[in-house]
Structure 1
Amino acid sequence: MYKILLVEDDEIIASSVCEYLKTWGYETEYVRDFEHVMELFLQFSPQLVLMDIALPFFNGYHWCQEIRKISKVPIIFLSSMNDNMNIVMAVNMGGDDFVAKPFDMAVLTAKVQAMLRRSYSFQGETSVCEHRGVILNLNDTTLHYGDKKLDLTKNDFKILQILFQNAQKVVSRDSIMERLWESESFIDDNTLTVNMTRLRRKLEEIGLKDFIVTKKGLGYMLV
């Protein structure tokens, strides 16, 4: 079942569209807290986003750019601001299509179906892990925190991946070394310490001091 997220300021329109698309077999959700759009996006992990331009706090262009930092999920803009400048802006900001308000539900559904057909399976679901606002992108092995981006080495990524997958749980040194062995890199106990020290230094440089903590005699964990 495809999941569709609606980012729309008018709750009547948002709920109506969601209910209509549900009758076509889609799982739907809409944003209620416009200060935390990305949190819902990460939690819901949609296969398509319907995005208005005029929104509280930040406009749809902003959220489209934020989504594009971590995902290629298709985005269809829905807006009454349907002059040529806004349509061009929507595409330039990463949008895939534009539907002018007011729209017919049947036309919108046809657009949604066509976009999903074109986009999958080669564009799959959002491939990210998130913890305390820090985002690990599994597609391009980058880490995002605020407006900062960290390009990770193979070992950095492997270490963070297992820690994110077990966030707030202690991961043993042996488990991390086994994950690193999967990449055919020879990692002994001392080499793991060196890798971990180097990774922590990189995290501190983007404002993530003590993001990874050591549990003496047990292993490491994200806090």
Structure 2
Amino acid sequence: MKILIVEDDKNILKLLSDELRSWGYETSQIDDFNKVKDEVMDKCPDLVLMDISLPSYNGFYWTQELRKVSKVPIIFISSHTETMDIIQAMQFGADDYITKPINIAVTRAKIQAILRRCYDYKLASDILLYDSCSLNILKATVTYKNTDISLTRTELMILESLFQAQGEIVSRDSLIEKCWQSENFIDDNTLAVNINRLRKKLKDLGKADLIKTKKGLGYYLSEEI
């Protein structure tokens, strides 16, 4: 999913870009604030984060212009918290409103909700999130702090099961069945070898302790303390 950030404050732009990428989204920004409409149409984002206070023309103007040619979901970003500003934003065609200073947790929740609503976005199967890590199923990558690593098919399937469990224990048998369902005589050692290889990759990513073993039961994801 591609998100275009229309924001002239470089600090906020960097904050949003870094966070969005860590969640597995692709991001882009506006190069010319006199051509916001043209750039949105050219970049074809799945969602736009639109600041209200912009050079030349404000976010209200550009949202009104965009609504003449596009139904792309738009979330306003503004330091204005007055009810009338929020109402006006919705009247001009915005889908939601985020106030500054930006609350990252709220921002993430609103983005996910709008993508699900507008695109039947399959968050649970395309991008999985756990403890600041994102697992991109389509790209077969896991990302942490803007760094990603590529996964083999088996490693991806193991992590997909663990991410879906969200810290709950996943049994060895269920992992073996998921990864090698068409093969016979796969033993627990084969799974252990793949888990160890995956742990080495996660260590390089800075998440050495992400996968934990529950003796006699299986594996689970642990949160960073």
TM-score range (shorter-chain normalised) is 0.5 to 0.7
Q: How does 1:28-177 map to 2 (within 5 A)?
A: 28-121=27-120
The C-alpha deviation readout for 1:59-95, integer Å capped at 9, x for no partner, is 0001001110111111110100120111010000000
The C-alpha deviation readout for 1:24-70, integer Å capped at 9, x for no partner, is 11110111321111222122100101111111000000100111011
Aligned length: 121
* Contact 1:15-1:30 at 8 Å conserved across structures: no
Where 2:28 maps in the other structure, the secondary structure is strand
2:213 corresponding residue in structure 1: none
Distance 1:20 1:47, change over 3 A: same
Instruction: Give the Cα separation in 2 of the matches to 1:49 and 1:13.
Output: 15
| Superposed displacement of residue 121, structure 1 | 4.3
- Dislocated runs of 4+, deviation >3 Å: none
Give unpaired runs (5+ residues) of structure 1: 123-223
Instruction: Give the Cα separation in 1 of the matches to 2:30 and 2:24.
Output: 20
Where 1:4 maps in the other structure, the secondary structure is strand
- Identity value in percent: 50
Where 2:97 maps in the other structure, the secondary structure is strand
Instruction: Give the Cα separation in 2 of the matches to 1:98 and 1:62.
Output: 16
Instruction: Give the Cα separation in 1 of the matches to 2:120 and 2:43.
Output: 19
Give unpaired runs (5+ residues) of structure 2: 122-225
TM-score (norm 2): 0.52
Aligned residue type for 2:8:
D
The C-alpha deviation readout for 1:141-165, integer Å capped at 9, x for no partner, is xxxxxxxxxxxxxxxxxxxxxxxxx
Instruction: Give the Cα separation in 2 of the matches to 1:45 and 1:74.
Output: 11
Instruction: Give the Cα separation in 2 of the matches to 1:99 and 1:66.
Output: 20
Where 2:4 maps in the other structure, the secondary structure is strand
